[in-house]
């Protein structure tokens, strides 16, 4: 018995001397964001100065972000649908009853004019696979103690050259993200707020995205409901469902 106690004591002391590595933290962030399926309703508020546009949507996701389907439900955009299958993105326009593929340079446009680009939407990267990680000085964000992790892209194909992520020390979810271009310029910031626990996953119910290339502009995503790892038919993520 005393030997077992000694082993536990040694492990505890070792973990204090060597706190979690940056990559361990990122693995736990990836794990918290992992899902088999998800279904949600949300509102996207695009703000420019004192003006704002509101768009409501119902979204579905599967295969850990490889598949996504979004349908806009507000009157001005009603019936506009997006389908993401791996690295391909399609849009259905009800006014034309037609489907268009978004690719190449068009992916850099803001989704529905927001600060969130189609490229951002296409991102289903696992941070652990695409970036190397380094721990910086801890910081408190909105009253929560956070690790500050710097990520550097391992390949030139990574969407951002560098990311700074502030990860909650207890929940292992990001509170704040800074995204930098390959030239070193700060491109976007994301503030992930009102984090709540849904089916074992910590999910931000309010996300504020600012594209730093735009002046006085921000996009707020407000999550109204989410169902994680529920049953979802494969037929949701098909071209047929766009035209349906």
Partner 1 sequence: MRYIGSFILPFALLASEISLTGALRNDAMVTSRRESAAYSDKLHEFNNILETGIVLEAENEDWKYYGDARAYFYEGSSVGSTSGNGRSEDVKLMRSFLRYTSGIGTTTLGKAFVNVGNGGLFNPFEIRKLVTFSDLSYTREGFLLASQTVNWQDTSELLVYAGSPNPFNYDPFWGISPGFHFSGMQGGLVVSHARADHNNAGIFLKGDYGAGFHGSWNTVLSDEGNYRYNEAVAGMDYSVNAQWFFDAGGYYNQSGADNPAEYETSETAYLSAEYYAFFSANYIPDEFLQMGVMAFINATDGSTLLLPSVTTFLSTGLSATLLFVLPTATGQTEFSQDLYGAATTLVRVEGKF
- Which positions touch partner 1 (CB under 8 A)? 46, 48, 51-55, 74-76, 78-79, 85, 88, 94-98, 100-101, 103-106, 108-110, 112-114, 117, 213-214, 217, 238-241, 243-244
Nearer to partner 1, 137 or 231 (CB): 231
DSSP codes joined into one string, 144-209: EEEEEEEEEESSTTSS-SEEEEEEETTT--EEEEEEE-TTS-EEEEEEEEEEEEETTEEEEEEEEE
Nearer to partner 1, 57 or 133 (CB): 57
Q: How far is the CB of 110 from partner 1 (least distance, A)?
A: 7
Nearer to partner 1, 36 or 106 (CB): 106
Q: How far is the CB of 220 from partner 1 (least distance, A)?
A: 13
> Nearest CA to 196 among 206, 205, 187?
205
Nearer to partner 1, 84 or 162 (CB): 84
Residue keyed to tokens 């006085």? 216
Burial class of residue 221, CB neighbours in 10 A (0-12, 13-18, 19+): buried
Nearer to partner 1, 86 or 140 (CB): 86
Q: Is the dihedral of CA 118, 119, 120, 126 positive or negative?
A: positive
Rounded to a whole number of angstroms, the distance between the first and last alpha carbons of the chain is: 66
Tokens of 90: 């399609």
Q: How far is the CB of 138 from partner 1 (least distance, A)?
A: 35
How far is it, in rounded angstroms, from Cα 151 to Cα 135? 9
DSSP 223: E
Nearer to partner 1, 176 or 220 (CB): 220
Q: How far is the CB of 103 from partner 1 (least distance, A)?
A: 4
């Amino acid at each position: 018995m005393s030997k077992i106690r000694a082993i536990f004591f040694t492990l505890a002391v070792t973990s204090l001397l060597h706190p979690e590595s940056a990559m361990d933290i990122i693995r736990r962030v990836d794990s918290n964001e992992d899902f088999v399926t998800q279904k949600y309703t949300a509102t996207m508020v695009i703000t420019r100065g004192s003006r704002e546009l509101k768009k409501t949507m119902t979204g579905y996701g599967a295969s850990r972000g490889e598949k996504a389907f979004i349908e806009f439900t507000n009157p001005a955009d009603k019936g506009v649908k997006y389908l993401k299958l791996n690295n391909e993105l399609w849009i259905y326009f009800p006014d034309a009853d037609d489907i268009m593929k978004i690719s190449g340079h068009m992916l850099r446009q803001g989704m529905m004019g927001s600060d969130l680009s189609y490229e951002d939407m296409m991102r289903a990267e696992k941070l652990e696979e695409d970036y190397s990680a380094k721990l910086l000085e801890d910081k408190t964000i909105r009253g929560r103690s956070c690790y500050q992790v710097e990520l550097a892209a391992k390949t030139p194909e990574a969407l951002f050259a560098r990311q700074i992520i502030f990860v909650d020390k207890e929940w292992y979810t990001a509170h704040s993200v800074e995204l930098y271009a390959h030239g070193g310029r700060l491109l976007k910031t994301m503030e992930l707020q009102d984090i709540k626990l849904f089916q074992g996953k910590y999910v931000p119910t309010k996300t504020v995205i600012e594209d730093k290339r735009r002046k006085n502009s921000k996009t707020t995503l407000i999550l109204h409901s989410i169902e994680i790892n529920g049953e979802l038919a494969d037929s949701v993520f098909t071209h047929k469902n766009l035209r349906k």
